[in-house]
């Protein structure tokens, strides 16, 4: 593992943060009703994972492209997941912005960071992505189940 700035990490974080900033101004109708029911332990995992992923993805240069090899497929697949994430957001912003639109996912973001960690052979990012995934996926599964019960 090599300390240093990762421009790939910065690109990933921009792809993550920009839609989320836009989302904060365009939350789904009744979203606040579900936030109060979030599992505090899963939420803690999600927040800790977010902070760790954000830090580690920037401070290790292992994620930068040095040469194209077969191992680079990990980076390519990871980037495909990030593109799917962006497509999900475009679809959400074009929708009526209801909760059902918000939870009609095209795969989750923790997978992209997990694969980026594998590409960079960086155990810190891999563990952070797993922590983030446990929290993020758990919180959103609970929200989704609440929505299904109301139908």
Tell me the C-alpha to C-alpha distance, in Å, between residue 28 and each of 99, 122, 131, 149: 5, 36, 26, 18
Please write the tens of the pLDDT for every residue from 97-131. 877 777 665 555 678 999 999 999 999 999 999 99
Dihedral of CA 111/109/88/86: which sign? negative
What pLDDT, on a 0 to 100 scale, did the predictor assign at position 140?
Answer: 77
151: three-class secondary structure by DSSP:
coil
What pLDDT, on a 0 to 100 scale, did the predictor assign at position 98?
Answer: 75
């Amino acid at each position: 593992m090599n300390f240093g700035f990762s421009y790939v990490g910065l690109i990933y974080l921009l792809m993550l943060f920009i839609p989320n900033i836009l989302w904060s101004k365009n939350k789904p109708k009744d979203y606040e009703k579900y936030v109060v029911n979030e599992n505090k332990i899963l939420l803690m995992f999600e927040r800790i994972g977010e902070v760790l992923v954000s830090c580690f993805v920037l401070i290790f240069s292992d994620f930068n492209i040095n040469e194209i090899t077969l191992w680079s497929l990990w980076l390519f697949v990871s980037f495909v997941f990030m593109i799917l994430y962006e497509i999900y957001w475009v679809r959400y912003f074009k929708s009526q912005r209801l909760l059902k639109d918000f939870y009609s996912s095209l795969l989750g973001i923790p997978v992209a960071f997990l694969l980026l960690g594998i590409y960079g052979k960086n155990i810190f990012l891999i563990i952070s992505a797993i922590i983030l995934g446990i929290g993020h996926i758990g919180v959103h599964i609970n929200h989704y189940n609440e929505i299904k019960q109301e139908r």
